Structure 1
């Protein structure tokens, strides 16, 4: 059974169809890319999977391990095992690196609202446990040395690593990476490719990737799906996609492929 199965997913913004009859099947452990020109509907797909948007038509279905996600709230989808990052890094920029990761562990805290308010009962023990879990995860990502730094003061590449570490703290089965190479130099992109391969193996993840950096997509993705104006125009291996006439036309225009 696929870990993710999207069928007939359609979404409108007013009278504009942003995604039309989108279908995707992901097997456990795959690393798959979604590409397409600006406005093709790539991030909309991520927002539909994570519950930020709800598919517009009744026959739309998105299942994680055969559990229907359409209609569930984002926090419920996170608890089921879906985590994501964003094109524009979304950290709690005025909080420390440690606190950014601790926040992601709080859905796993074993104390009540009143224990938290009064700081009694299990509160202190659980807070210590969560801090230890966060520090262990930071150590795994080689970020323990900057645990007390304010996150906005980190170099851009480390901010990206921190955002991914925070996503991993939710114990995902499926990780959605939205343009992780945005704003990076070529040398940083090379490091990012190795980093993505590493997190897939280390945390036994399935990864769905949206990206404009074609070098990254072609080198690390096993399959690629191409969107144009919300419609899938091609699917296949990197070699098949880079020689596909419809894909070239979508990126270069009719004149560019003559």
Structure 2
């Protein structure tokens, strides 16, 4: 299906009710993109509702019926998609040996399988325009996993592998797949980390003091967070550049970059020393 000379670019964004997804939806809409902004949280979508060039959709990425309904709505509104941007994701902190396996499964279902479902269902519309897939990974997706952040890291490492395989498949169809790896940004997810660590510390049988110390340390980490609009600009570049990069690392935490360069045993020893309860 070809695109007429006067037709607008269209993009489907999951997790659009969050800080990064919402900022990206607004940024693209301001540049005359037709934005389909999807999120599980209907209340969060109300802030986007009524804005020019934005159509909101309630979407549960863990439910195939919900994904199919969203696809049908998009298909009624446009002839194809120029981009899919997968922001939808949740954070769970705690020990991977203590957190309920069903909780871990849910995180993976949202963060990994949600992306897989959306890309799978929307692909015919994307292929019609030779559009692009932008998967939002994280700096944790390519770095060595840190203690008590393993659940989120597992999901983002999976997104990295999925994106690489998908890119090397879809290149034969002329469809670029781009990874974006954000560092710390000012979002509700980041703001809730301290509270999540405090909750995990109370629930932990083995690591309460460790989790409490890390939770306190996250207060300082929040000062490093960047405004969501910075990432929105990078997503726009990934969608519109003539030759987009395979991956965009956006404002990574310098300390984590340095730590990631250490040999594994050296990093283990450093973490044991730094995190050991006094």
Q: How high is the TM-score relative to the length of structure 1?
A: 0.31
Which structure is higher in RCO with an 8 Å CA cutoff and minimum separation 6? 1
Q: How high is the TM-score relative to the length of structure 2?
A: 0.29
